């Protein structure tokens, strides 16, 4: 009886299964976001707005400027109040215990004081009653024109006045928003003006000064100083100024053009970054998505290499990656077809031999058929082994780490290996390397795969060389423009390679058997693997025939491996010509 099991739908995201595989988070296909809702676009705009917000916030708050202005106002008001109380204490009071304020003399004192515009001076007696006020001191009557009973139709503003009106409305709106900030409201409530309380404190002999806010939330700087005759307090002079807000607003209006320019610069900068970064990235993302969804969109990656920046580099790399990806896909498809074709040959032979074995009449015929079956099995075993090696080359190279290797050591080690493993019969391997100088010659290579290339070439050369011949391996330096390259050649004394097959020998499953070689002993993948490995080393490999200088006869085959020379640290090695140029410049 089967037991019920609970199945849970896996959560989206990256999770690791019990088998060790990693599940990739599901991703929606197609257009995922518009340009305006793109996170990259938002980040560009917000990052550019930070500086603008700081500038606007600083201009609105203007805390230091406002504090300094208030301190200066308090000092000026206190200076004026002290002057007035000193003069009144000497000229507007009596003498002795009956000293009191002389209102007429005090009036003359206030009339003689030059009170700036939007400043106000008031005099209170010991009971807190208002005696004098500079606003009513001159007894002047203010005359102004009354508003019409029927409102006039406002005239349409001229087009040139629109920017100024918009500027005023914007500043007013910003000022109102800044004025109604919660922390500013709390500060105004804390500093709410209490004129009577200030007068009582001053009547007790203490001075009251600082900023206050009236019932209309207007900022007022006020100073209350007692009027004394010796130590007797006879009244209070209060001096206040209500022009601080207008000064601060004027400074803010002066900053408005700068804020506008900063906002315009931020907007243009954000748009430029969006056009030159976000849009190309979106194009590349959508093109990559088209490539992944359709094999017919191989050329969908846009060419942005003319940009000469990181996005241009990304475009070039993505193009190369796409071409390499589809080349790999095509190569895998062709490889699978070639494998199927090559395996079918021994399978067909096996089928024929097994069918014939049933009807074989003599022991000799059966032995011959069994021998054919064994040969085909061995051939299939070799094919499968070499196919497995060929399919793992790229994976092994991706997992391996390139090292800086000495070419002399590589050639000497592989020559010594063949000398120790040779039975003494047949062709022998000889090292004819003659690198000049004692300085080592380095290449950047994967040690095991690169040694496998040399062994494949040497084994191939030993196979085709006659018994009394030899195989020669040689490493040398060749200049290629401003750089030097390491060239390793493997020569044999065999019959050579037909001219039309000098390139074909590097194709998969191509076999050219030497005379007397057993059928099926070669899979035709050795040289193909060599080219695959050397290409991964950013090098090249090709074949040619060695010809006699006297009569032009072919004396054997030569395989040439060409890889870039590297310094000990892994950088490209400069050629001697370039080194001489640098030394000459230094000497000059």
Q: Among 399, 429, 425, which Cα is nearest to 411's?
A: 429
Residue 12's contacts (CB-CB under 8 Å, 6 or more residues apart) are 25, 26
Q: Which residues contact 447 (CB under 8 A, 6 or more apart)?
A: 403, 405
- Average pLDDT in the chain: 76
pLDDT in tens, 290-303: 877 776 666 678 88
Residue whose structure tokens are 């020998």: 505
Q: What share of the chain is helix, strand, coil (3-state, %, to 5)?
A: 50, 15, 30
* Angle at alpha carbon of residue 199, lines to 196 and 200, rounded to 5°: 90
Task: Please enumerate in sequence order all residues whose Cβ is within 8 A of that of 364, keeping only pairs 6 or more positions apart, or say none.
Answer: none
Tokens of 90: 């000497």
Exposure class string for 25-55: b at 16+ Cβ within 10 A, else e: eeeeeeeeeeeeebeebeebbeebeeebeeb
pLDDT band at residue 95, thresholds of 50, 70 and 90? low
In the 3-class helix/strand/coil scheme, how is 307-376 assigned residue by residue?
HCCHHHHHHHHHHHHHHHHHHHHHHHHHHHHHHHHHHHHHHHHHHHHHHHHHHCCCHHHHHHHHHHHHHH
**298 phi and psi, to 5 degrees?**
-65, -30
Q: Locate tokens 């031999």: which residue?
A: 353
| Residues β-bridged to residue 480 | 483
Is residue 202 over pLDDT 50? Answer: yes
Query: Quick one: which of 450, 459, 446, 460 has its CA closest to 418?
Result: 459
Quick one: which H or E segment has residue 262? helix 244-273
Q: Which pLDDT belongs to residue 56?
A: 64
Q: Distance (Å, rounded) from C-alpha 376 to C-alpha 256?
A: 91
Residues 495-516, mean pLDDT to the nearest whole number: 75
pTM of the predicted model as reported, rounded to 2 decimal places = 0.47
pLDDT digits (tens, 9 = 90+) for 307-330: 777 777 888 888 888 887 877 777
What average pLDDT does the segment 194-204 reach?
Answer: 86
SS3 assignment, position 71? helix
Quote the pLDDT of residue 11: 43
Contact (Cβ atoms closer than 8 angstroms) between residue 559 and residue 541:
yes
pLDDT band of residue 491 (cuts 50, 70, 90) is very high
Mean pLDDT of 580-586: 55
Half-sphere exposure of 329 (CA within 13 A, CB side): 11
As a whole number of angstroms, the distance between CA 23 and CA 533 comes to: 31
Calculated CA dihedral for residues 469, 473, 474, 475, nearest 10 degrees? 170
Q: In the predicted model, is pLDDT for residue 28 greater than 50?
A: no
- The count of other CB atoms within 10 Å of the CB of residue 60 is 18
Position 191 scores a pLDDT of 83
pLDDT of residue 478 exceeding 80, the answer is: yes
Compute CA distances 8 → 13, 19, 26, whole Å.
Answer: 15, 17, 17
Q: How far apart are CA 435 and CA 556, in angstroms?
A: 24
CATH of 303-398, one of 3.40.50.300, 3.90.1150.10, 1.10.10.60, 1.10.287.130: 1.10.287.130
Q: Which residues pair with 473 in a beta bridge?
A: 431, 490
Mean pLDDT along residues 573-582: 50
Q: CA–CA separation, 442 vs 405, rounded Å?
A: 5
122-164 residue pLDDT tens: 988 888 888 888 888 765 555 667 666 666 555 555 555 556 6
Query: What pLDDT, on the 0 to 100 scale, is given for residue 261?
Result: 76
The single-letter DSSP state of residue 23 is E
Name, of 126-140, 413-427, 522-536, the range with top average pLDDT.
413-427
Structure confidence at residue 561 as a pLDDT band (50, 70, 90) = very high
Which DSSP letter does residue 538 get? T
Angle made by CA atoms 541, 546, 548, in degrees to the nearest 5: 165
Q: 224 and 238 in contact (C-beta within 8 Å)?
A: yes
The fold of the 400-587 domain, in CATH, is Heat Shock Protein 90 (3.30.565)
Q: Which residues share a beta bridge with 544?
A: 558
Model pLDDT, residue 535: 86
Closest CA to 485 of 529, 452, 441: 441
More confident residue, 318 or 34: 318
Q: Both tokens of residue 54?
A: 């700081």
Torsion-angle region of 72 (φ positive above 0: left; ψ -120 to 50: alpha; else: beta): alpha
Per the listing, tokens 């993505």 go with: 318
Stronger pLDDT, 261 or 6, i.e. the higher one: 261
Domain 62-135+160-242 classification at class level: alpha beta
Name the H helices within 204-243. Answer: none
- 447, 484 Cβ separation under 8 angstroms: no
Residue-range domain boundaries for the chain = 62-135+160-242, 303-398, 400-587
Percent of all residues in the chain with a pLDDT value above 90, rounded to a whole number: 5
554-581: burial string, b at 16+ Cβ within 10 Å, e else: ebbbbbebbbbbbeeeeeebbbeeeeee
Residue 473 pLDDT: 92
Query: Any bridge partners for residue 558, and if so which?
Result: 491, 544
């Amino acid at each position: 009886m089967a037991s019920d099991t609970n199945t849970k739908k896996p959560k989206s995201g990256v999770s690791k299964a019990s088998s060790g595989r990693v599940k990739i988070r599901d991703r929606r296909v197609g257009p995922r976001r518009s340009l305006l809702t793109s996170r990259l676009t938002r980040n560009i705009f917000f990052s550019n707005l930070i500086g603008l917000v700081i500038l606007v916030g600083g201009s609105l708050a203007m805390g230091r400027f406002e504090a300094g202005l208030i301190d200066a106002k308090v000092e000026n008001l206190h200076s004026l109040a002290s002057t007035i109380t000193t003069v009144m204490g000497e000229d507007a009071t009596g003498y002795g215990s009956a000293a009191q304020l002389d209102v007429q003399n005090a009036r003359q004192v206030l009339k003689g004081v030059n009170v700036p515009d939007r400043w106000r001076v008031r005099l209170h007696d010991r009971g807190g009653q208002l005696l004098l006020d500079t606003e009513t001191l001159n007894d002047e009557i203010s005359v102004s024109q009354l508003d019409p009973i029927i409102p006039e139709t406002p005239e349409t503003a001229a087009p040139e006045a629109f920017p100024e009106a918009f500027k005023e409305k914007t500043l007013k709106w910003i000022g109102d928003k800044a004025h109604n900030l919660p922390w500013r409201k709390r500060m105004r409530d804390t500093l709410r003006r209490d004129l009577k309380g200030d007068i009582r404190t001053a009547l007790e002999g203490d001075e009251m000064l600082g900023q206050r806010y009236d019932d209309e939330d207007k900022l007022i700087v006020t100073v209350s100083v007692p009027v004394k005759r010796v130590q007797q307090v006879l009244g209070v002079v209060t001096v206040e100024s209500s022009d601080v807000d207008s000064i601060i607003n004027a400074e803010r209006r002066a900053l408005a053009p700068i804020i506008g320019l900063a906002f315009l610069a931020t907007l243009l900068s954000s748009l430029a970054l969006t056009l030159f970064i976000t849009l190309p990235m979106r194009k590349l993302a959508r093109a990559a998505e088209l490539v992944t969804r359709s094999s017919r969109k191989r050329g969908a990656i846009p060419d942005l290499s003319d940009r000469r920046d990181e996005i241009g580099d990304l475009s070039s790399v993505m193009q190369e990656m796409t071409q390499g990806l589809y080349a790999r896909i095509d190569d895998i498809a062709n490889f699978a077809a070639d494998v199927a074709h090559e395996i079918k040959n021994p399978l067909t032979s096996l089928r024929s031999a097994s069918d014939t074995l049933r009807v074989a009449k003599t022991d000799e015929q059966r032995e011959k058929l069994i021998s054919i079956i064994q040969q085909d099995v061995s051939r299939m075993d070799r094919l499968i082994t070499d196919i497995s090696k060929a399919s793992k080359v790229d994976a092994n190279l991706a997992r391996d780490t390139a090292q800086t290797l000495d070419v002399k050591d590589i050639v000497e080690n592989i020559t010594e290996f063949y000398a120790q493993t040779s039975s003494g019969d047949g062709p022998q391997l000889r090292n004819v390397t003659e690198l000049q100088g004692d300085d080592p010659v380095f290449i950047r290579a994967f040690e095991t795969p690169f040694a496998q290339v040399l062994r494949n070439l040497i084994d191939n050369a030993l196979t085709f060389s006659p018994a009394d011949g030899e195989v020669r391996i040689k490493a040398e330096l060749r200049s290629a423009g401003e750089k030097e390259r390491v060239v390793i050649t493997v020569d044999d004394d065999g019959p050579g390679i037909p001219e039309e097959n000098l390139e074909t020998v590097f194709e998969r499953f191509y076999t050219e058997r030497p005379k007397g070689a057993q059928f099926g002993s070669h899979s035709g993948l050795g040289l193909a693997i060599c080219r695959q490995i050397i290409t991964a080393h950013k090098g090249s490999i090709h074949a040619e025939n060695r010809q006699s200088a006297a009569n032009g006869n072919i004396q054997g085959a030569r395989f040439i491996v060409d890889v870039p020379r590297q310094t000990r640290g892994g950088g490209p090695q400069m050629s001697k010509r370039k080194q001489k140029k640098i030394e000459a410049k230094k000497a000059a």
